[in-house]
Amino acid sequence: MREKFGVIIVAAGRGSRMGTKESKQYLQLANKPILVHTLELFQRMDFVEEIALVVGEQDIERCKEWAKEYSLSKMTSILSGGKERQHSVVCGLQSLKSEWVMVHDGVRPLITEDAVKRCCERALVSGAAVLAVPVKDTIKQVDEAGTIVATPDRKSLWAIQTPQAFRRALLIEGHECAIRDGFLGTDDAMVVERIGASVVVVEGEYTNIKITTPEDLPWAEYLLAQRQVTKGDISK
């Protein structure tokens, strides 16, 4: 890939749906914190030149220790996040110097380099690209009473993932506009869409799960173990 990317890893949330005292990004997965698995993935990618990690203020010190322990040399800044995820991304953006950037959830530790590279390559052409997978289930739209009011065509529905890749100037413009308008989006693509820019969907992988609830952890353990077995078979 001809360009280098900076990465914002967003990990400032508490994750109440996990039901644990510890924030989900710091729970153990195969003897390492989930967040460390995620950071190590981007550390290994040749086209990543810098990583900004955004966490809760109370977690900065332990993340600094992990940067040393796990040799995370590309992690150039560890920042305190904002009130909302969107504000945390802005904090990360301000610390990066790369012309091209990605935003990734700290609790998606199973993303593959191939998927990230596909997303980045499309972003270099279009200015903005996101990973996503086609929705498998039939989706129903319901009203406040729980009554079905519409059934969207499944062919047009995609479940959006991270990373999401952008020209840095475009993402900054989108976030500045969102702040000015008091708009809160559920992902970074939304703030770019609002300023009239096109965002391209790149097909990702169903294994790129976001660890959110207790049942996600054993599934992530299984996927990680399968991946390690495959690597072992290849090396023989």
Query: Residue 229: what pLDDT?
Result: 80
CATH T-level fold of 5-235: Spore Coat Polysaccharide Biosynthesis Protein SpsA; Chain A (3.90.550)
Query: Residue 1: what pLDDT?
Result: 82
Chain centroid, CA 228 distance in Å = 22
Distance CA 106, CA 5 (A): 17
Q: Which residue has the higher pLDDT, 21 or 197?
A: 197
Residue pLDDT, tens place only, 19-60: 567 788 999 999 999 999 999 999 999 999 999 999 999 999
Nearest to 159 by CA among 122, 116, 210: 210
- Measure the CA angle with vertex 9, ends 166 and 201; round to 5°: 35
Q: Is residue 2 within 8 Å of 179, Cβ to Cβ? A: no
User: Which residue in the block uniquely carries the two structure tokens 């729980």?
Assistant: 146
The SS3 assignment for 108 reads coil
Enter the tokens of residue 146: 């729980």
Query: Residue 190: what pLDDT?
Result: 97
Residue pLDDT, tens place only, 60-84: 999 999 999 999 999 999 999 988 9
Query: Residue 232: what pLDDT?
Result: 64
In order of 23, 33, 54, 96, 191, the CA distances from 173 in angstroms are 31, 34, 20, 15, 9
CA trace torsion 177, 183, 187, 191 (10° rounding) = -20
| pTM recorded for the entire structure | 0.92
